[in-house]
Amino acid sequence: MELRVLEYFLAVAREQSISAAADFLHLTQPTLSRQLKDLENEFGKQLFIRGNRKVTLTDDGVYFRKKAEEIVTLAHRTETEMKNTDQTIVGDIYIGAGETDAVHNIVRVAHQLQKQYNGIHFHIISGDTVDLTDRLDKGLFDFCLLLGEIDQAKYEYLPLPYTDTWGVLMRKDSPLAEKKTIKAQDLWDKPLILSRQILNVSQFMRWFEKSASELNIIATYNLAFNASIMARERMGYVLTLDKLINTEGTELCFRPLSPKQTVGMVLVWKKYQPQSKAAEKFIKTLSNI
């Protein structure tokens, strides 16, 4: 299984057409078709369904696409870092970030670093803890910005001097919008839209004073923007962090929880994993803020 062939496979999966992928790769269609067939024979699996107008992935093909993307990304990153000289600090830094206003501070440090080393490039990908740590563990991220508790046995970490406040995002014409703060009892009989990871956070189960099965959880989310649309469409009340959704001039409002519930920020990276010079500079700069 050659890296070149994986890139051929990904091009076809992206273009959904062997002819379009062949044009993109500057190959003949017969050559590309033969490479794909050899790949399928190597695994003994059908990866594509070849239709009259487009090519689609089988279930095995969808799985293989994810793995191929990870392999190709790691290969290119390794090649770039190995070509760097001891005197130069260049390269890509990949950061997975949970949704938080503290990303502003990560961006400020990134901008400061790029003023000194214009060969450093940053890639910030949003997601929740489950998605982000999975990609960090696979070596696809250099760092993750996480909220709350982390596995200290698994990761090196740098606590950051920022906190976010939990609250409820709702329509301004909702009954609870009249309150300045929201108590747990206010939500016991309300349709709730929760982050999919929050049910595993003991802090909130204690605050709710109810088990998940006793709450009316009508939907979950992993990105606050999508949750805000649910609130706007009157689906329910969204438990989220402050400053993620700008409610000014909209039909939405945010009310903090009572008693106040906050969460801290931690930047984590894999233990025992050598860092690139660019990543080392990033950590050093961030530590000094």
**Residue 68 belongs to what H/E stretch?**
helix 59-83
SS3 66: helix
> Higher-confidence residue: 117 or 201?
117
**What would the pLDDT profile of 186-229 be if each residue is shown by its tens digit?**
999 999 999 877 766 667 778 999 888 899 999 999 889 999 99
Q: pLDDT at position 86, please?
A: 54
Name residue, tokens 């990153």.
Answer: 77
Q: Which fold has domain 164-261?
A: D-Maltodextrin-Binding Protein; domain 2 (3.40.190)
> What is this structure's pTM?
0.70
Angstrom distance (rounded) from CA 54 to CA 30 = 16
What pLDDT was estimated at residue 226?
A: 93
Range list for CATH 1.10.10.10 in the chain: 3-82
Cβ neighbours of residue 164 closer than 8 Å, sequence gap 6 or more: 100, 101, 102, 147, 241, 242, 243, 262, 263, 265
- What is the percent of the chain with per-residue pLDDT over 90, rounded to a whole number? 47
The pLDDT assigned to 1 comes to 74
For 268, the token pair is 């984590």
Model confidence at 31: pLDDT above 80 = yes
Does residue 252 register a pLDDT over 90?
yes
CATH of domain 3-82: 1.10.10.10
Q: What's the pLDDT tens digit per position in 73-103?
A: 888 777 766 666 555 678 889 999 988 888 8
The pLDDT score that the predictor gives to residue 229 is 96
**In the predicted structure, residue 150 carries a pLDDT above the cut 90:** no
Q: Are strands 262-270 and 143-147 parallel, antiparallel or unpaired?
A: antiparallel
- Can you list the alpha helix ranges (DSSP code H) found in 117-242? 129-137, 184-187, 202-208, 224-232
Contact 189, 203 (CB under 8 A): no
Flag the least confident range among 15-19, 172-176, 181-185, 257-261.
15-19
| pLDDT above 60: residue 57 | yes
Residue 286 has pLDDT above 70, yes or no: yes
Residues of the chain with CATH 3.40.190.10: 88-162+265-287, 164-261
Angle at Cα 164 formed by Cα 280 and Cα 225, nearest 5°?
95
Secondary structure class of 269 (helix, strand, coil): strand
Omega before 259 within 30 of 0, i.e. cis: yes
The top-level CATH class assigned to 88-162+265-287 is alpha beta
Structure confidence at residue 2 (pLDDT): 86
